Structure 1
Amino acid sequence: MNTLTTIELPAADGYRTVELLEPALLDTVSTPPRSRIAYAAGHVVGDPLRSSTGSQAAIDWDATLRIRHSLWDLGLGVAESMDTAQRGMGLDPTTALTLAKRTLAEARTAGGAVVVGIATDQLDAAHHSLEEITDAYIEQLGEIEAAGGSVVMMASRHLARAAKGADDYLSVYGKVLDSASRPVILHWLGSMFDPALEGYWGDRSISEASETVLALIRSKKDKVAGIKVSLLDKEHEVSLRRRLPAGVRLFTGDDFNYAELIAGDEQGHSDALLGAFAAVPRFASAAFAKLDQGDHTAFRNILEPTIPLSRLIFEAPTQYYKVGVVWLSYLTGWQSHFRMIAGLESGRSLLHLADLFQAANGIGLFPDPETSAERASAYFRAQGF
């Protein structure tokens, strides 16, 4: 029986032939890294028979939770119910809460680390007062803490619309942090991920917004475990990291430059809370194992080849990066189909999916390249290619 050695992929002018490469040899570990804190933002697996545009979130719970266990088995923590799980792009707040509670329960059996995103998405799309927005945050905070979880305080579209300036952000965040019984991770999500968050923290200038963020953290440093920064601006991240109070961590959300930022410099390093790690979890596990041994060169040699793939996954329009995460999960055998809740798989073109296959194959991402190629070819044929 012949085995596949190449694959025909869609190209702008017809076809391209890509040679299948052997999987990367990676020494993964099952224990969490000692040198850094590392969370992979997990995606959700849709029910392939029921997921569609306009439908209520239909999730394959068994497959979704298996992915969490797979991440824990690689020593990674799970960042749950966040934008990688299509929060605000198909995952409604009720289902997000159910997902969070189920993951927290699974984590207790597996000994896995979890942080859970909270937001204000139980509010409708109308304009809401600062008091209503504060209460919405506190409601979700209470639900997660009652379930035994710690939270990531996600950016609020409602607050971005209602706030008149920096003082409104300080007021809302201050009250929510005062209500927390455990230290909270803040989240600064850039408008490239969600255009509705333009001018978050009360200013379109990143430098001015940073002053507001730092003022908040300094005033509530005992309540803040860290801040996840997702602005795809490594110079800004390093600058902000160096100005944080002692004990407050910066979790990189920079899916373009994470290897350099996590490696750090003589003045410090970033920890990780990344959607990209849901796409390259085996590489992350092996890289952190080397970093724990003090081998920064090996860490970067393993992780830096994943950066071009991550940049492709997160290319503009960046909010559709979830499609790439799910596509690679399907190709690597972590799930059995390529359907997404809300029909979000339509957010990327066939050419983009082909580019992702080629880039992933190029770094040896696929544990079984032949099976990955068969899955990709079958999908492209079904689309008329």
Structure 2
Amino acid sequence: MTTADVIVIGGGIAGISAAATLATDRSVLVLEAEPQLGYHATGRSAAVFIRNYGNATLRALNAASVPMLENPENGSTESLLSPRGELLVATEDELQALEDYVAGATGLQTLTPMQAVELVPILRPERIAGAVIEWDAQDIDVDRMLTGYTGQLKASGGQILTGARVTGLRRDDGLWRVSVAGAEYAAPVVVNAAGAWAGSVGQMAGALPVPLQPMRRTAAILPAPGGHDTRNWPLFASAAEQWYAKPESGKLMVSPADEEPQEAQDAWADDMVLAEGLHRYEQTVTVPVTRVEHAWAGLRTFAPDRTPVAGFDTRADGFLWLAGQGGYGVQTAPALSRLAAALIRDEPGTLPPSVIAALRPGRFKYDPE
């Protein structure tokens, strides 16, 4: 039986970043169910860092992640971030949603409809009742980020097993026994970074029934609209999250911003959902959609309060949750990985106590506290 100080279940960006951070002074084993790392949500991310994205807790995590995204600790000398910008446009009936977003945000600039069109020339000015831009929104090099953490983990002696789907968890004599296809692995601490499967892993461990729900998000690649050069356009989106569009390798990625509850699975695009979302997008632009080159879907997993779940379980000793990141997983991974490592090392960490409390898995109605 293979033993380690920490077993991390899940090889997406959450699990790999936590494992790499821990491996400097712990023996770490990552168990990934798929044949490759980052197969699900990480590999299907929109790959953009938006400082004002999410609630107050998430914005604190975003801010805490910036230094590590700008100066990776894995030997790279280049920032993982590059300029992009995020433009939000509102129709008359979306003005309240825009005002709500602005109320809790910083670093935004209000634009006129014509200023918005100067940035994205296919927008219809007559449809724009309000617009703001966050210039500091940036693209994230997710591939390089995942590769960097993976290299850092391996350089520290950490191990990764792919195709290793966990089938059982039990606590015995102070150790977690993790079953995988007839083999067994043991560690005093298990990190549940299983993404859409985190709820099932928690159930296997007899942990708190954290209410996590995977939600499908669909996207498609369209040819550059009207032959425009999209490379310097910002990401542009409906203020009420009816759709968003992001330049992608000279083309345009458009998402209907759908959130359809799903079982944990290898998600696929729903043609009707995509068609409806593209129709909403078309109402705000001058160039119709004539062709979809490629479409896909991923699962973003949320707790009811839209805040990640990160902390030790109060029912299952040595079981640490690192789940429920929703659509914020890549951009919050640096901060959450450091939090996970600090909790396992029993160190204070750098996040404010109020943020740590907001993340705890015992915050829901079953909380014995």
User: TM-score scaled to structure 2, two decimals?
Assistant: 0.31
User: TM-score scaled to structure 1, two decimals?
Assistant: 0.30
Q: Which has the higher strand share?
A: 2
